[in-house]
């Protein structure tokens, strides 16, 4: 029997219209979107379905929006494949909150409210700093770290072989891209983001997020959830809180997290929520794995069919 892990994407996966066909097709999704609007006190559903894109891209909307669509994808999958079970969870950046919620650490409403606050705190940090991020393609980790040191920026995401993301001041990112190309990177391009996520420029968000998390009841996870910071499963509730705060300024060790799960015997991975970025990373980490995704009705139907085989 294949061991199954569920995966949740981070910010950047948002797209206007996300979740709409799930809501129109499945009552469980419709109920979740209604609960989300009530919990947050505004019409997140409309922002997800109709945008405009500028509104959905705002961090304080994108984060709860992606969380909500990802959660709806999980609940619809459970309803359509009643025998479906997962034995571990992981999520990239924002997605780690969804993974922890899926493992029972937080309630749906608490998770949603916390990621809304997290998005606002991070946006405030972005507004107070001149920061940016860039993807570095085709350069190994050691060489990229040398580039980061020379340009005084930081390694933010270790996604998969050949794809790393750096973060820092706008001037530092520009310099780092030039240096990376000189060192042999196939590409080094700035990303359309609001600021320098997963870098020290986000430090002002940390105490605010810690305060918000201390107002939430955190339970032990029912299944292992791999931490972005350590690439190891979370342990105590206190550690979960600390790691989620550290995650704001720490690099996301995504490839190491997935390799931990592979080494632990996991062979089936299901990405839940908008986009297929994590599925793409999985292909580059190990093409021999079974990987599915649920983002909308067609991908749901494919995954349900695959699970029933």
Cβ atoms of 205 and 248 within 8 Å: the answer is yes
**Active site residue: 70, 93, 167, 250, which one?**
93
* Euclidean distance between CA atoms 275 and 273, whole angstroms: 7
* Euclidean distance between CA atoms 234 and 231, whole angstroms: 9
Cβ atoms of 295 and 74 within 8 Å: the answer is no
**Active site residue: 70, 167, 198, 199, which one?**
198
Cβ atoms of 220 and 236 within 8 Å: the answer is yes
Helical packing angle, 59-80 and 297-308, nearest 10°: 40
* Residue 21 in tokens: 């066909």
Q: In what order do the strands lie in the sheet with 187-190?
A: 154-160, 163-169, 131-137, 187-190
Strands (E), 36-125: 88-91
Alpha carbon of 253 to those of 149, 191, 304: distances in Å?
18, 19, 30
* Euclidean distance between CA atoms 94 and 283, whole angstroms: 21
- Has 250 been annotated as catalytic? no
Residues 6+ apart with CB under 8 A from 91: 7, 8, 9, 10, 97, 98, 99, 100, 228
Handedness of CA 60, 65, 68, 71 (dihedral sign): negative
- Has 93 been annotated as catalytic? yes
Instruction: Find residue 134's DSSP bridge partners.
Output: 166, 190
The catalytic site residues sit at 93, 198
């Amino acid at each position: 029997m294949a061991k199954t892990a569920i995966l949740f994407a981070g910010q950047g996966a948002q797209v206007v219209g996300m979740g709409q066909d799930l809501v129109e097709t499945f009552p469980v999704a419709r109920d979740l979107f209604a609960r989300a609007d009530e919990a947050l006190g505004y019409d997140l559903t409309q922002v997800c379905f109709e945008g405009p894109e500028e509104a959905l891209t705002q961090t304080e909307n994108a984060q709860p929006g992606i969380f909500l669509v990802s959660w709806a994808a999980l609940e619809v999958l459970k309803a359509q494949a009643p025998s479906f079970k997962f034995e571990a969870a992981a999520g990239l950046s924002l997605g780690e909150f969804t993974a922890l919620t899926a493992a029972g650490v937080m309630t749906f409403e608490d998770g949603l409210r916390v990621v809304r606050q997290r998005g606002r705190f991070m946006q405030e940090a972005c507004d107070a700093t001149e920061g940016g991020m860039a993807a570095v393609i085709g350069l190994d980790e050691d060489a990229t770290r040398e580039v980061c040191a020379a340009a005084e920026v930081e390694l933010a995401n270790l996604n998969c072989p050949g794809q790393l993301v750096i973060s820092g001041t706008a001037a530092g990112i520009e310099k780092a891209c030039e240096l990376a190309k000189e060192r042999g990177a196939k590409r080094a391009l700035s990303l359309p983001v609001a600021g320098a996520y997963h870098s020290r420029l986000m430090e002002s968000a940390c105490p605010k997020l810690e305060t918000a998390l201390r107002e939430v009841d955190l339970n032990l996870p029912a299944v292992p959830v791999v931490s972005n910071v350590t690439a190891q499963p979370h342990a105590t509730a206190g550690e979960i809180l600390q790691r989620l705060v550290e995650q704001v300024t720490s690099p996301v060790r995504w490839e190491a997290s997935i390799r931990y799960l592979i080494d632990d015997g996991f062979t089936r991975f299901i990405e839940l929520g908008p986009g297929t970025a994590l599925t793409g990373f999985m292909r580059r980490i190990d093409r021999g794995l079974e990987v599915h995704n649920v983002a909308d009705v067609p991908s749901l139907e494919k995954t349900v069919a695959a699970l029933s085989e």
